[in-house]
Chains A and B, each alone.
Chain A
Amino acid sequence: MADAGTFIDRGKDLSQPLDRLSPDERLKKASNYLRGTIATGLLDRITGAVAADDTRLMKIHGMYQQDDRDLRDERRRQKLEPAYRFMIRVRLPGGVCTPEQWLKLDDLARAHGGGALRLTTRQTFQFHWVLKEEVRETIQGLHEVLLDTIAACGDVSRNVMCAADPEDSALHAEVARAAREVSDHFLPRTRAYHEIWYGEEQVASSGAEEEPIYGATYLPRKFKIGFVVPPSNDIDVYTQDLGFIAVAGPAGLEGFNIAIGGGMGRTENEPLTYARLADVIGYISRDRLVAATEAVMSVQRDYGNRVERNRARFKYTIDDKGLGWIKAEIEARLGAALEPARPFRFVSNGDVFGWRETESGRFNRTLYVESGRLANRPGRSWLDGLRAIARAHRGTFRVTPNQNLIVAGVAAEDRAAIEALLAEHGLAGGGESAIRRNSIACVALPTCGLAMAEAERYLPDILGRIEAILAANGLAEEPITFRISGCPNGCSRPYVAEIALTGRAPGKYNLYLGGGFHGERLARMVRENVGEAEILSVLDDLLGRYARERRRDERLGDFVERIAYLASEQQVPGRISPII
């Protein structure tokens, strides 16, 4: 049990009566396990939207109501409601799908998704631009190939990530199995999804057992789980609420180091919200995996803040209660102390591109997909190309945590044919700069309701300008992580990038520098709410100094940290570090 004498404030958690908790908690409770009035709202012909409460419930069904923000103002003047559309996110543990599933995803993207598929930073697919009256058809299409969208968003365990290891080690296969096991175990059990989207009959239920793990109010907030196989930290394990770092012995997977309390989201002008890296708290053996997950998640379920939603993530629960207390509570629920963490080492959080031979003698081809957006554009018929590959391919597809794609499990004799198709459709890549290959952008405008500035649509331009600075300083081949998000919530994991921008207003960003190259250190904000000219001017100075003063093999993030340390004596303490 927890240390005797430690006072744990339970004034904001599940133990409180519902009327003291946030409206979201009451909504979940009253929704009859996520049914709400979604089914009737789909039939309402007066609006392309659903009721506001239902939009919140639908997140746990894996979809967001959005609208085309490019048209919002225009339509308001036209006395038309916003151009409502739905974003539908597939649940795809570890990011793996079959060619048959790919072909269906492609069909649905063309029919309902505005002709594009979006690869996400949590290794799955998103459809944007789906009309209300076509949501059901889209979900049923996914169902035909055994895909669904349950728990892809909302206050539950999200799509479980797993290292994309292009070498497909035997260890990776074991870890991937573990990830699927956890994903399955923590899937919401409500039948609401089947009733609403597949039209299944509602079966009488006792209610109480409908969600044995989550309960009627689910979790206080999203909960992100990921599995990583060192030395690659492609999933950014320190940004997960619960990260598992695979530990192997001579006989393969033995267990995992556990990291808890990572999270990117913060809110401007709310100093009590912040990005936080996960803490490694110990080790468990493989056979305790599900029990350990349940122990960690249930601590957050029971103690997480359900009064203030922007303080509801697990990272705040840990900081509010104390890491020691949280660890003790986890151990109490697990019935045993965690073993000390085993040594591990990461080298990078990026992807490795091109062909790689796997342990089983097959080949994996990692493709660079700018911002994860697959569409047909002049000279880049990416959807067509991948469709052609899916028709010929006998392996699988794998979405990487960096929004890229692996054509996995290609037989030696099929390599040439696949490569030819890649070349034919402009997918072969290879001409991008190192920073571009290490870049991530969230979706942002025009679909994301949270975005305050452009991200995906701006990335090509801003990178072009930064590339020019890099080239002028002889740094064109230097791998540097660059990430841009349209708002401070940080879907592109900007706060661990070496250079990052987070949106404040159209054309205005906060500039962060100095994150760790393998995700081990948070970046520091060096400019707040500035435009492109200022951003480029800071980068011009910094990259010039970096080229001149860097130590051998010193990463940009490490360099920033070093000069910041040197400059710290002259600094006025404050929120912004004016090191550059």
Chain B
Amino acid sequence: MGHLNPFPADTLDQDQRRQVEALSGSVTPEQARWISGYFAGLEAGIARRSGDSGLPAGAAAALRTLTVLHGGETGNCGGLARAFAAAAADQGLVAQVEDMARYKPRRLREEQDLLVIVSTHGEGDPPQPALDFFEYVEGPKAPKLPQLRYSVLALGDSTYEHYCEAGRRLDRRLEALGATRLAERVECDVDYDETAAQWRAEALALLVAQAGAGCEVSAPADPSFPAAAAYDKRNPFPARIIDKLTIVGRDSTKETRHLELDIAGSGLVYQPGDALGIVARNDAAVVAALLDATGLSGDSDLTVKGEPTTLAEALEGHFEIAITPPRFLDHWAAVTGAAELERLSGDEGKAERQNWLRNHHIVDIVRRFPAKNVDSATFVAGLRPLQPRLYSIASSLSAMPDEAHITLAPVRYQLHGEARHGVASAHLADRSEVGDTLAVYIQPNEQFRLPEDDKAIIMIGAGTGIAPYRAFLQEREARGATGKSWLFFGERNFRSDFLYQTEWQAWLKDGLLGRMDVAFSRDRRGKAYVQHRMLERAADLFAWLEDGAHLYLCGDAARLAPDVHEALISIVAEEGRLRREGAEDYVRALQRGHRYQRDVY
């Protein structure tokens, strides 16, 4: 076959042809595939509007994507997948071969023709490297797949009870998600060569025949323009919890959680760096304890912001009832006339007041200084309205459409012989399960933004302060950003507290994350914090800054932030050969230039 003219003379005018030729000379194969999909969608949209079917059927069919997805432990499935792709190529079909171990399952919603080759292990289990894939596909996050045609080749060993079960499971599940079976599932025993070849031949024949007959191209869904966000702090969106995981190991001294929320249909849009506001409710047990201490009935009528309610409901949903605000101290001193409260609220108690309040929650004060005949309205008059809690969003909309993820380290401690916990901690960690809803809104943070895609970034975080960097890297991955990246992370123990460890490892491996330094403060040897790692890498860190890197800091405001700030100044002073004032000026200039951004709490 000679050189093929890709543009029959009458399809494009000269100008269009020049543009397409110029484009085709510069794109990568992946971009080419994307562009073909883009035009296919465009064509379908145009066709639908005009009632015209557009391109001839065969050409449309050729635009369907074909992916061969394999999962196994021994390499047999991978070998079969490659053989399929080779056979497809002989038929003029381009197949992409993907391993479940590395495949991003969210891509399923874009797949069109999918051939699955999967083996079964142990008691009908999927292959180890494919466990994440199975968990996603079989879990509540799996998308509907009406656009998908598929067929499953299941490998197994018939001496086991659950023969080919992993393949059967996928076959059932894809059907349940709305996908269409292209060819029936085929199951093979340990001597799989012949059966697999039959399946391959059948599936390929169907693909080729249907391409020839002209099958319908599924049009991309209408780009639903997000309606102006109707949900905000005053009117939060009820987001369903679609996943909730403890992401520290069993020996951890922490209980850090990862939560995934479904915001589909909310119109909520966020940027990496933004926070999610969560309108939490107080623990009913804490409310009961407080009611008990005051002697008030939870059923007492009350009006809050003009709305009639009950005291119990108000305490649960409208007021802060744990940490004592200074105004409650003043209020309760007035209500009870207790001498000590008056002293603490007056000038002479100023020095010890803050500390005393930290050690006395509202319930502790009410118990110790009971008031006689106080009514509901009087009691709540000293309380502050319940504030939403803010969490740095740990996901990117580009990578996780319709989702928002957060990282949460529940706050728990003992006070006066009782277990106490933070409001949202208890709500999210203890009283919310997958399927429940949380009232959420987006709290934008313009002071914590990724730079242009080609700029280098240095990300410093400790504990849950690592959350926005997960969003950053997801975003950069989705955008194909080329800028270098370097992450510093600190926590207590390497083995249990390395938050999102496997995700960073994967990004390090594929190069999206260039460097990572970690510091663990409670490991047996080498107690270290992030600032120690920064100082160890001072020369490189300064060189990155000199080259224009943007630096981010996220985490604890009281200890981490000042320590990192101080380390930064000394690195600049040392490496830049500057006096302290000069180094401080340098760092201030970074901040003014938005190249040193902080999100501390």
* Proximity string of chain A (492-513) to chain B, C-beta cutoff 8 Å, 1 when within and 0 when not: 0000000000001110100000
Contact A505 B160 (CB under 8 A): yes
**CB of B372 closer than 8 Å to a CB of A:** no
Contacts of B500 in A (CB 8 A): 79
Contact A79 B501 (CB under 8 A): yes
Contact B505 A81 (CB under 8 A): yes
Q: Given A269-B157, A505-B123, A528-B159, verify A75-B249 contact (CB < 8 Å).
A: yes
Contact A529 B160 (CB under 8 A): yes
Report how many residues on chain B are interfacial, defined by Cβ distance under 8 Å. 32
Contact B516 A46 (CB under 8 A): yes
Q: Which of B123, B498, B508 has the most CB of A within 10 A?
A: B498
Question: Closest residue to B497 on the A side, CB-wise?
Answer: A80
For window 188-210 of B, CB contacts with A under 8 Å fall at: 190
Q: Given A76-B132, A79-B502, verify A48-B495 contact (CB < 8 Å).
A: yes
Question: Closest residue to B517 on the A side, CB-wise?
Answer: A45
Contact B122 A81 (CB under 8 A): no
The total number of A-B Cβ pairs within 8 Å is 66
Contacts of A81 in B (CB 8 A): 498, 501-502, 505
**CB of B88 closer than 8 Å to a CB of A:** no
Question: Closest residue to A80 on the B side, CB-wise?
Answer: B501
Which label, helix, strand, loop or mixed, suits the secondary structure of the A interface? loop
Q: Given A77-B245, A133-B525, A505-B122, verify A83-B495 contact (CB < 8 Å).
A: yes
* Proximity string of chain A (70-88) to chain B, C-beta cutoff 8 Å, 1 when within and 0 when not: 0101111111110100000
Contact A46 B503 (CB under 8 A): no
Q: Chain B's nearest CB lies how many Å from the CB of A268?
A: 8
Contact A79 B245 (CB under 8 A): yes
For window 46-84 of A, CB contacts with B under 8 Å fall at: 46-48, 71, 73-81, 83
Q: Tell me the complex Cα distance, A45–B246, Å.
A: 22
**CB of B362 closer than 8 Å to a CB of A:** no
Contact B123 A78 (CB under 8 A): no
Contacts of B501 in A (CB 8 A): 46, 79-81
Q: Given A45-B494, A46-B505, A505-B160, verify A80-B247 contact (CB < 8 Å).
A: yes
**CB of B248 closer than 8 Å to a CB of A:** yes
Q: Chain B's nearest CB lies how many Å from the CB of A375?
A: 19
Question: Closest residue to B122 on the A side, CB-wise?
Answer: A505
Contacts of B577 in A (CB 8 A): none
Contact A78 B248 (CB under 8 A): yes
Contact A71 B250 (CB under 8 A): yes
Q: Tell me the complex Cα distance, A508–B508, Å.
A: 39
Which label, helix, strand, loop or mixed, suits the secondary structure of the B interface? mixed
Contacts of A504 in B (CB 8 A): 159-160
**CB of A260 closer than 8 Å to a CB of B:** no
**CB of A452 closer than 8 Å to a CB of B:** yes
Question: Closest residue to A507 on the B side, CB-wise?
Answer: B123
Q: Tell me the complex Cα distance, A79–B245, Å.
A: 9
**CB of B281 closer than 8 Å to a CB of A:** no
Q: Tell me the complex Cα distance, A508–B245, Å.
A: 32
**CB of B258 closer than 8 Å to a CB of A:** yes
Q: Tell me the complex Cα distance, A71–B135, Å.
A: 17
Neighbour of A80 across the interface among B123, B135, B249, B516, CB < 8 A: B249
* Proximity string of chain B (125-139) to chain A, C-beta cutoff 8 Å, 1 when within and 0 when not: 000000110010000
Q: Tell me the complex Cα distance, A75–B245, Å.
A: 11
Contact B518 A76 (CB under 8 A): no
Contact B508 A46 (CB under 8 A): yes
Q: Tell me the complex Cα distance, A45–B249, Å.
A: 17
Contacts of A73 in B (CB 8 A): 131
For window 455-505 of B, CB contacts with A under 8 Å fall at: 494-496, 498-505
Q: Tell me the complex Cα distance, A479–B205, Å.
A: 64
Contact A80 B498 (CB under 8 A): yes
Q: Chain B's nearest CB lies how many Å from the CB of A464?
A: 24
Contact B504 A269 (CB under 8 A): no
Please name 10 further chain A to chain B contacts, defined as beta carbons within 8 Å, in addition to the given A71-B249, A73-B131, A505-B160, sorted by A numbering: A45-B494, A48-B494, A71-B250, A77-B245, A80-B501, A81-B502, A81-B505, A504-B159, A505-B123, A508-B160
Binding site for A on B (CB under 8 A): 122-123, 131-132, 135, 157, 159-160, 190, 245-250, 258, 494-496, 498-505, 508, 516-518, 525
Query: Could you give 10 example pairs across A and B, Cβ below 8 Å?
Result: A71-B249, A78-B245, A80-B247, A80-B248, A80-B498, A83-B249, A133-B525, A269-B190, A504-B160, A506-B122
Q: Which are the 5 A-B pairs with shortest beta-carbon distances?
A: A269-B190, A529-B159, A505-B122, A78-B247, A80-B501
